[in-house]
Every structure is written in structure tokens, then in C-alpha cells.
Amino acid sequence: MKFWKRFIAALAAAAMLLTLNPASVLADNPSTTITLSFGFNQSEARRGLALVNAFRMGIEAWYWDPSSSNKIQASNL
């Protein structure tokens, strides 16, 4: 369970980074500008998404009941 929570959080963070462009960031001193540039491997994010979707639609898919105490096996996905 922890793996999937961390995986989804990392996937969400990667998706947020997709919307950013290299930017100039104003530091504490208004006269100082710092330019940032970055890159990331989109193919890794796509592979991660494929893994999540495969789990969600596979025969091993499950979810927690409303009390978060029992796993319920998903069917007819």
C-alpha cells in the first residue's frame, strides 16, 4: 500500500513538473535573479502510468472498504 501511495505521489509530482517551463526565480534580495532549468524522463512517467493502469484493470485489483480495514477484491473491471 505504501508503495502505491508513494508511486502515485511521485507521478503527481512529475505531472506538475510537466506544466512548468524553465523560469527565473526572484530571490530574497529583489536585485538577484536566479535562472533554473530542468528536465525529466517522460518515458519513465508513462511506464509508471501503464503499471498503475495494469494493476487497476488486472485480476489482482482491490480497494479498501469505507472503514479502511478490509481489502475488497475488485471484479468485472
pLDDT in tens, 30-55: 666 778 887 777 888 899 999 988 88
* Structural domain of 54: 2-73
**CB–CB of 53/45 below 8 Å?**
no
Q: What is the pTM of this model?
A: 0.36
Residue in 51, 35, 43 with CA at minimum distance from that of residue 18: 43
| DSSP codes, 44-56 | HHHHHHHHHHHHH
Rounded mean pLDDT, 53-60: 85
Count how many domains the chain has: 1
